[in-house]
Structure 1
Amino acid sequence: MSEPQTTEARFTRAHLEQAIAISPFTNWVGTKLVDFEPGAVKIAIDVRNDMTQHHGFAHGAIVGYMADTVCAWAAASVVGDVVTSEYKLNLLAPAVGDSLVATGIVVKAGKRQVVTRADVFAVKDGQERIVATALATIARV
């Protein structure tokens, strides 16, 4: 498969770090860029009390944010500026832990859209437990 765009159009680690710095919501969540390579991104957050729901685990909206963000950033690392067109999130277990980690990869990049996949893990006492998985369609801007 030929690459959809040249390297100059792809977002770099520096682009994503800048996105973190200027996004009020991303800052509020406390998103950290853990790993980066074209087509694969890993992010993490510390779970705070104001991110939990009535049972004390991370709210599904925060888990969804993690999946959406890591999918979009993985796509951006291949094709440049993007927005999420849709995503399907499967919540697999309560997100109980001190932090959440999400990995996103590009499944296929086309001319107009990028299909991506994400897994979200809760980390407690150093142990990761998968809590959600997602597929997303990311559109080029």
Structure 2
Amino acid sequence: MGRSDMTEFRNPDAVARMRADFARQGAMSAMGITVADVAPGRVVLEMPFNADFSQHHGFMHAGVITSGMDSACGFAAFTLMEAEAEVLTVEFKCNFMAPAKGAQFRFEGEVVKSGRTLTFTEGRAVALDGDAAVTVATMTATMMAVRGLKP
């Protein structure tokens, strides 16, 4: 994945705000997705396998994988936004490379380029099973800084 050259948060309260916004997402809570790591321009989320979110072959559903990557990318972008900004997804593209089969899933989002309004990100979904780690999907996504939006 590409890596932002940003090494500092633009907003000193970015991590606290990101965690608070993440905690208000009912979808993430319902799917059991949690925040594992936050750094400037990078967010890692985790989720245990849950058969309630599987598809008809028993793999994690593509919509769940996409949701995890979208949130990881969006919050990675958010960590580099100014204090008055909120984040919304503008567009994304996903590629699924392997069945989403694993005991746990990791969703990594990373900023490629951060601008005042648009931020370009890349994401990856990794299935974990014991010592095995398989990248099952990738994402490219554009995020938008929105001002004046109440959370």
When normalised by structure 2's length, the TM-score is: 0.84
Q: Name 1:66's counterpart in structure 2.
A: 68
Alpha carbons of structure 1 residues 11 and 55: separation in structure 2 relative to 1, 3 Å: farther
Match of 1:137 among 119, 137, 142: 142
Q: Name 1:91's counterpart in structure 2.
A: 96
Q: Name 2:40's counterpart in structure 1.
A: 38
Aligned residues: 136
Distance 1:20 1:98 in 2: 23
Alignment of structure 1 residues 1-141 onto 2, 5 Å: 7-8=10-11, 12-79=14-81, 80-141=85-146
CA contact (8 A) 1:11 1:76 kept: no
Distance 1:69 1:20 in 2: 8
CA contact (8 A) 1:92 1:132 kept: yes
Of residues 40-49 and 15-24 in structure 1, the stretch that sits farther from structure 2 once superposed is: 15-24
Instruction: Give the aligned residue type for 1:7.
Output: R
Of residues 12-21 and 82-91 in structure 1, the stretch that sits farther from structure 2 once superposed is: 12-21
Task: Render the CA deviation track for 1:41-95: whole Å, top value 9, x for unaligned.
Answer: 1110112110100100100001101110110000000014110000000001000
Richer in helix (by share)? 1
Question: CA shift at 1:11, angstroms?
Answer: 5.9
Task: Render the CA deviation track for 1:87-136: whole Å, top value 9, x for unaligned.
Answer: 00000100001111011110001121000001110111232100001100
Aligned residues: CA RMSD: 1.6
CA contact (8 A) 1:47 1:97 kept: yes
CA contact (8 A) 2:120 2:143 kept: yes
When normalised by structure 1's length, the TM-score is: 0.90
